[in-house]
Amino acid sequence: MTSQSKTGCFRQFADQMRPVIEAHLDRYSRFGRGCPDRLQAAIRHGLLAPGKRLRPLLVLSAASICGSSPARALPAACAVEMVHAYSLVHDDLPAMDDDDLRRGQPTCHNAFDEATAILAGDALLTRAFEILAHDVKPSELAQRCCLELAQAAGACQLVGGQSDDLAAEQRAGDLATLERIHERKTGAMLVASLRLGAFFGAARDEQLSHLSTYGNRLGLAFQIVDDLLDQTGDPQQTGKRSGQDTQRGKLTFPSLLGVDASRRRARQLVEEAVSVLSSLPGDASILISLAHYVVERNH
Ligand code: GRG
Protein backbone atom coordinates (compact mmCIF):
# COMPACT_ATOMS: atom_id res chain seq x y z
CA MET A 1 0.00 0.00 0.00
CA THR A 2 1.39 3.48 -0.84
CA SER A 3 1.88 6.00 1.97
CA GLN A 4 -0.77 8.21 0.34
CA SER A 5 -3.40 5.46 0.52
CA LYS A 6 -2.42 4.55 4.11
CA THR A 7 -2.95 8.14 5.26
CA GLY A 8 -5.82 9.08 2.92
CA CYS A 9 -8.61 8.25 5.32
CA PHE A 10 -7.21 10.56 8.03
CA ARG A 11 -6.44 13.32 5.53
CA GLN A 12 -10.03 13.24 4.29
CA PHE A 13 -11.41 13.38 7.86
CA ALA A 14 -8.97 16.19 8.73
CA ASP A 15 -9.87 18.22 5.62
CA GLN A 16 -13.54 17.92 6.53
CA MET A 17 -13.23 18.68 10.27
CA ARG A 18 -10.40 21.26 10.39
CA PRO A 19 -12.56 24.17 9.15
CA VAL A 20 -15.25 23.25 11.70
CA ILE A 21 -12.69 23.14 14.53
CA GLU A 22 -11.18 26.43 13.39
CA ALA A 23 -14.57 28.17 13.24
CA HIS A 24 -15.15 27.14 16.87
CA LEU A 25 -11.64 28.25 17.89
CA ASP A 26 -12.32 31.60 16.25
CA ARG A 27 -15.53 32.02 18.26
CA TYR A 28 -13.99 30.82 21.53
CA SER A 29 -11.11 33.28 21.23
CA ARG A 30 -13.34 36.39 21.17
CA PHE A 31 -13.47 37.51 24.77
CA GLY A 32 -15.61 40.63 24.69
CA ARG A 33 -15.57 43.47 27.22
CA GLY A 34 -12.74 43.48 29.73
CA CYS A 35 -10.18 41.71 27.57
CA PRO A 36 -7.61 44.25 26.27
CA ASP A 37 -7.45 44.35 22.43
CA ARG A 38 -3.70 43.67 22.36
CA LEU A 39 -4.05 40.65 24.65
CA GLN A 40 -6.89 39.23 22.53
CA ALA A 41 -4.81 39.74 19.38
CA ALA A 42 -1.89 37.85 20.98
CA ILE A 43 -4.17 35.00 22.09
CA ARG A 44 -5.60 34.70 18.58
CA HIS A 45 -2.12 34.91 17.03
CA GLY A 46 -1.01 31.86 19.03
CA LEU A 47 -4.22 29.91 18.62
CA LEU A 48 -5.38 30.57 15.06
CA ALA A 49 -2.02 30.34 13.29
CA PRO A 50 -2.05 27.38 10.88
CA GLY A 51 -1.51 24.30 13.07
CA LYS A 52 -2.27 20.70 12.16
CA ARG A 53 -5.07 20.52 14.80
CA LEU A 54 -3.96 16.98 15.52
CA ARG A 55 -5.21 16.94 19.13
CA PRO A 56 -8.75 18.17 18.37
CA LEU A 57 -8.87 15.68 15.49
CA LEU A 58 -7.93 12.93 17.97
CA VAL A 59 -10.78 14.03 20.27
CA LEU A 60 -13.29 13.88 17.41
CA SER A 61 -11.95 10.57 16.05
CA ALA A 62 -12.12 8.91 19.49
CA ALA A 63 -15.64 10.25 20.07
CA SER A 64 -16.71 8.78 16.75
CA ILE A 65 -15.04 5.38 17.28
CA CYS A 66 -16.75 5.13 20.68
CA GLY A 67 -20.18 5.85 19.24
CA SER A 68 -20.70 9.59 19.83
CA SER A 69 -21.30 12.18 17.14
CA PRO A 70 -18.04 14.13 16.70
CA ALA A 71 -20.02 17.41 16.84
CA ARG A 72 -20.89 16.84 20.52
CA ALA A 73 -17.21 16.69 21.38
CA LEU A 74 -16.26 19.97 19.65
CA PRO A 75 -15.99 22.04 22.88
CA ALA A 76 -13.61 19.42 24.32
CA ALA A 77 -11.64 19.37 21.05
CA CYS A 78 -11.22 23.17 21.25
CA ALA A 79 -10.27 23.03 24.94
CA VAL A 80 -7.45 20.60 24.17
CA GLU A 81 -6.17 22.77 21.30
CA MET A 82 -6.19 25.81 23.62
CA VAL A 83 -4.00 24.02 26.17
CA HIS A 84 -1.70 22.91 23.35
CA ALA A 85 -1.50 26.47 21.94
CA TYR A 86 -0.67 27.84 25.42
CA SER A 87 2.14 25.27 25.75
CA LEU A 88 3.60 26.31 22.38
CA VAL A 89 3.44 30.04 23.22
CA HIS A 90 5.22 29.43 26.54
CA ASP A 91 7.67 26.90 25.06
CA ASP A 92 8.83 29.53 22.54
CA LEU A 93 9.63 32.14 25.22
CA PRO A 94 13.25 33.26 25.76
CA ALA A 95 13.31 31.50 29.16
CA MET A 96 12.42 28.19 27.48
CA ASP A 97 13.28 27.29 23.86
CA ASP A 98 13.69 30.91 22.72
CA ASP A 99 12.27 30.42 19.23
CA ASP A 100 11.35 33.16 16.79
CA LEU A 101 9.28 31.15 14.31
CA ARG A 102 6.26 28.93 14.96
CA ARG A 103 3.61 27.66 12.55
CA GLY A 104 5.33 29.71 9.85
CA GLN A 105 4.82 32.98 11.74
CA PRO A 106 6.76 35.05 14.29
CA THR A 107 6.36 33.52 17.75
CA CYS A 108 3.93 35.29 20.05
CA HIS A 109 6.58 37.14 22.08
CA ASN A 110 8.19 38.32 18.85
CA ALA A 111 4.96 39.52 17.28
CA PHE A 112 3.91 41.21 20.56
CA ASP A 113 6.20 41.24 23.61
CA GLU A 114 7.25 38.79 26.28
CA ALA A 115 4.81 39.84 28.99
CA THR A 116 1.89 39.78 26.53
CA ALA A 117 2.91 36.30 25.32
CA ILE A 118 3.02 34.98 28.90
CA LEU A 119 -0.42 36.44 29.57
CA ALA A 120 -1.80 35.11 26.26
CA GLY A 121 -0.67 31.62 27.31
CA ASP A 122 -2.26 32.05 30.73
CA ALA A 123 -5.54 33.15 29.12
CA LEU A 124 -5.55 30.20 26.68
CA LEU A 125 -5.03 27.74 29.51
CA THR A 126 -7.84 29.14 31.66
CA ARG A 127 -10.20 29.51 28.66
CA ALA A 128 -9.86 25.78 28.01
CA PHE A 129 -11.36 24.92 31.39
CA GLU A 130 -14.02 27.62 31.04
CA ILE A 131 -15.14 26.01 27.76
CA LEU A 132 -15.29 22.53 29.31
CA ALA A 133 -17.19 23.74 32.37
CA HIS A 134 -19.62 25.85 30.33
CA ASP A 135 -20.22 23.92 27.11
CA VAL A 136 -19.85 20.23 27.90
CA LYS A 137 -23.12 18.67 29.00
CA PRO A 138 -24.10 16.99 31.28
CA SER A 139 -22.08 18.52 34.12
CA GLU A 140 -20.69 15.11 35.23
CA LEU A 141 -19.11 14.75 31.78
CA ALA A 142 -17.72 18.31 32.01
CA GLN A 143 -16.17 17.51 35.39
CA ARG A 144 -14.62 14.31 34.05
CA CYS A 145 -13.13 16.18 31.08
CA CYS A 146 -11.76 18.96 33.35
CA LEU A 147 -10.06 16.42 35.62
CA GLU A 148 -8.51 14.46 32.75
CA LEU A 149 -7.21 17.56 30.96
CA ALA A 150 -5.92 19.18 34.18
CA GLN A 151 -3.96 16.04 35.02
CA ALA A 152 -2.50 15.71 31.50
CA ALA A 153 -1.45 19.38 31.42
CA GLY A 154 -0.20 19.47 35.01
CA ALA A 155 3.00 19.13 37.00
CA CYS A 156 3.30 15.35 36.63
CA GLN A 157 2.67 15.26 32.87
CA LEU A 158 3.03 18.13 30.33
CA VAL A 159 4.63 20.66 32.70
CA GLY A 160 6.75 17.99 34.43
CA GLY A 161 7.94 16.61 31.08
CA GLN A 162 8.84 20.11 29.90
CA SER A 163 10.72 20.75 33.13
CA ASP A 164 12.75 17.53 32.78
CA ASP A 165 13.37 18.28 29.10
CA LEU A 166 14.86 21.68 29.96
CA ALA A 167 16.92 20.12 32.75
CA ALA A 168 18.30 17.49 30.32
CA GLU A 169 19.83 20.13 28.01
CA GLN A 170 23.61 19.80 27.68
CA ARG A 171 23.52 16.58 29.75
CA ALA A 172 24.07 12.96 28.78
CA GLY A 173 20.98 10.74 28.98
CA ASP A 174 19.69 7.34 27.94
CA LEU A 175 16.73 6.14 25.89
CA ALA A 176 14.59 5.34 28.94
CA THR A 177 15.03 8.90 30.27
CA LEU A 178 14.25 10.40 26.89
CA GLU A 179 11.11 8.29 26.43
CA ARG A 180 9.94 9.14 29.95
CA ILE A 181 10.29 12.86 29.18
CA HIS A 182 8.29 12.62 25.97
CA GLU A 183 5.60 10.32 27.33
CA ARG A 184 4.75 13.30 29.53
CA LYS A 185 5.68 16.31 27.40
CA THR A 186 4.18 15.09 24.12
CA GLY A 187 2.28 11.86 24.83
CA ALA A 188 0.10 12.93 27.77
CA MET A 189 -1.82 15.50 25.73
CA LEU A 190 -2.40 13.00 22.90
CA VAL A 191 -3.64 10.40 25.40
CA ALA A 192 -5.91 12.99 27.06
CA SER A 193 -7.32 14.01 23.65
CA LEU A 194 -8.31 10.41 22.92
CA ARG A 195 -9.75 9.83 26.39
CA LEU A 196 -11.81 13.05 26.33
CA GLY A 197 -13.29 12.04 22.99
CA ALA A 198 -14.01 8.53 24.27
CA PHE A 199 -15.83 9.93 27.33
CA PHE A 200 -18.48 11.33 24.94
CA GLY A 201 -19.18 7.83 23.71
CA ALA A 202 -19.31 6.48 27.28
CA ALA A 203 -16.38 4.16 26.55
CA ARG A 204 -15.73 1.28 28.94
CA ASP A 205 -12.49 1.10 30.97
CA GLU A 206 -11.04 -1.50 28.61
CA GLN A 207 -11.59 0.76 25.57
CA LEU A 208 -10.07 3.70 27.44
CA SER A 209 -7.06 1.63 28.30
CA HIS A 210 -6.53 0.57 24.65
CA LEU A 211 -6.87 4.17 23.49
CA SER A 212 -4.33 5.26 26.14
CA THR A 213 -1.84 2.68 24.88
CA TYR A 214 -2.43 3.83 21.30
CA GLY A 215 -1.89 7.48 22.38
CA ASN A 216 1.26 6.66 24.32
CA ARG A 217 2.91 4.88 21.35
CA LEU A 218 1.66 7.56 18.96
CA GLY A 219 3.14 10.27 21.20
CA LEU A 220 6.60 8.71 21.16
CA ALA A 221 6.47 8.15 17.39
CA PHE A 222 5.28 11.75 16.93
CA GLN A 223 8.19 13.05 19.00
CA ILE A 224 10.77 10.97 17.13
CA VAL A 225 9.48 12.43 13.85
CA ASP A 226 9.56 15.91 15.42
CA ASP A 227 13.23 15.38 16.33
CA LEU A 228 13.99 14.07 12.82
CA LEU A 229 12.23 17.06 11.24
CA ASP A 230 14.31 19.40 13.41
CA GLN A 231 17.40 17.77 11.94
CA THR A 232 16.37 17.09 8.37
CA GLY A 233 13.10 19.00 7.77
CA ASP A 234 12.46 21.92 5.45
CA PRO A 235 11.62 25.12 7.45
CA GLN A 236 9.27 26.15 4.60
CA GLN A 237 7.19 23.07 5.45
CA THR A 238 7.72 22.76 9.22
CA GLY A 239 7.10 26.48 9.81
CA LYS A 240 9.95 26.60 12.35
CA ARG A 241 13.72 26.84 12.28
CA SER A 242 15.72 23.64 11.80
CA GLY A 243 18.68 22.60 13.94
CA GLN A 244 17.37 24.21 17.13
CA ASP A 245 17.69 20.99 19.16
CA THR A 246 21.38 20.52 18.28
CA GLN A 247 22.06 24.18 18.98
CA ARG A 248 20.55 23.91 22.46
CA GLY A 249 22.31 20.60 23.20
CA LYS A 250 19.00 18.78 23.58
CA LEU A 251 18.70 15.09 24.25
CA THR A 252 16.90 13.78 21.13
CA PHE A 253 16.14 10.44 19.48
CA PRO A 254 18.46 10.98 16.48
CA SER A 255 21.28 12.15 18.76
CA LEU A 256 20.94 8.96 20.82
CA LEU A 257 19.99 6.38 18.17
CA GLY A 258 21.00 7.93 14.86
CA VAL A 259 18.61 8.83 12.03
CA ASP A 260 17.95 5.35 10.61
CA ALA A 261 17.34 3.63 13.95
CA SER A 262 15.07 6.54 14.98
CA ARG A 263 12.98 6.02 11.85
CA ARG A 264 12.78 2.28 12.54
CA ARG A 265 11.74 2.93 16.17
CA ALA A 266 9.01 5.36 15.00
CA ARG A 267 7.63 2.73 12.56
CA GLN A 268 7.72 0.05 15.26
CA LEU A 269 5.80 2.34 17.66
CA VAL A 270 3.18 3.00 15.00
CA GLU A 271 2.74 -0.75 14.46
CA GLU A 272 2.28 -1.17 18.24
CA ALA A 273 -0.22 1.71 18.31
CA VAL A 274 -2.25 0.27 15.45
CA SER A 275 -2.26 -3.26 16.87
CA VAL A 276 -4.23 -2.29 20.00
CA LEU A 277 -6.99 -0.71 17.92
CA SER A 278 -8.18 -4.05 16.59
CA SER A 279 -9.82 -4.77 19.96
CA LEU A 280 -12.02 -1.65 19.77
CA PRO A 281 -15.60 -2.21 18.63
CA GLY A 282 -15.96 0.82 16.31
CA ASP A 283 -14.38 1.52 12.92
CA ALA A 284 -10.77 2.47 13.76
CA SER A 285 -9.72 3.30 10.20
CA ILE A 286 -9.24 7.03 10.91
CA LEU A 287 -6.99 6.34 13.91
CA ILE A 288 -5.02 3.71 11.96
CA SER A 289 -4.56 6.13 9.10
CA LEU A 290 -3.65 8.96 11.53
CA ALA A 291 -0.88 6.83 13.04
CA HIS A 292 0.64 6.33 9.58
CA TYR A 293 0.29 10.07 8.89
CA VAL A 294 2.30 10.84 12.04
CA VAL A 295 5.39 9.01 10.73
CA GLU A 296 4.97 10.12 7.11
CA ARG A 297 4.39 13.81 7.86
CA ASN A 298 6.81 16.53 6.71
CA HIS A 299 5.55 19.30 9.05
C1 GRG B 1 5.47 25.22 28.22
C2 GRG B 1 4.29 23.65 29.78
C3 GRG B 1 4.98 23.88 28.52
C4 GRG B 1 5.12 22.84 27.69
C5 GRG B 1 5.70 22.92 26.37
C6 GRG B 1 4.41 21.62 23.56
C7 GRG B 1 5.70 21.71 24.26
C8 GRG B 1 5.72 21.56 25.73
C9 GRG B 1 6.79 22.00 23.57
C10 GRG B 1 6.80 22.27 22.12
C11 GRG B 1 8.10 21.85 21.56
C12 GRG B 1 8.05 20.53 20.93
C13 GRG B 1 8.83 20.42 19.67
C14 GRG B 1 7.37 19.55 21.45
C15 GRG B 1 7.32 18.22 20.88
C16 GRG B 1 6.14 17.85 20.07
C17 GRG B 1 5.16 18.91 19.90
C18 GRG B 1 4.22 19.11 21.00
C19 GRG B 1 5.16 19.57 18.75
C20 GRG B 1 4.19 20.60 18.40
O21 GRG B 1 2.97 20.00 18.09
P22 GRG B 1 2.37 19.96 16.61
O23 GRG B 1 3.42 19.48 15.65
O24 GRG B 1 2.16 21.50 16.36
O25 GRG B 1 1.09 19.21 16.64
P26 GRG B 1 0.99 22.27 15.56
O27 GRG B 1 1.58 23.64 15.35
O28 GRG B 1 0.72 21.55 14.26
O29 GRG B 1 -0.19 22.28 16.47
pLDDT tens digits for 91-147? 999 999 999 999 999 999 999 999 999 999 999 999 999 999 999 999 999 999 999
Gap between the Cα atoms of 179 and 190, Å rounded: 15
pLDDT tens digits for 206-225? 999 999 999 999 999 999 99
Gap between the Cα atoms of 165 and 87, Å rounded: 14
For residue 182, the ligand 1 atom closest to its alpha carbon is 15
CB of 162 sitting under 6 A from ligand 1: yes
Kindly tell me if the per-residue pLDDT of 280 is higher than 90: no
Determine what percent of the chain is predicted with pLDDT higher than 70.
99
pLDDT tens digits for 223-278? 999 999 998 878 888 778 788 888 888 889 999 999 999 999 999 999 999 999 98
Gap between the Cα atoms of 228 and 187, Å rounded: 17
CB of 52 sitting under 6 A from ligand 1: yes
pLDDT at 3: 65
Cβ–Cβ < 8 Å for 192, 148 = yes
Task: Count Cβ atoms below 10 Å from residue 257 Cβ, excluding itself.
Answer: 17
CB of 92 sitting under 6 A from ligand 1: no
- How far away, in angstroms, is 88 Cα from ligand 1 center? 5
pLDDT at 243: 83
Packed helices 54-65 and 205-232: angle between N→C axes, nearest 10 degrees: 150
pLDDT tens digits for 12-59? 999 999 999 999 999 999 999 999 999 999 999 999 999 999 999 999
pLDDT at 229: 94
Gap between the Cα atoms of 46 and 226, Å rounded: 19
Beta strands in 223-294 (DSSP E): none
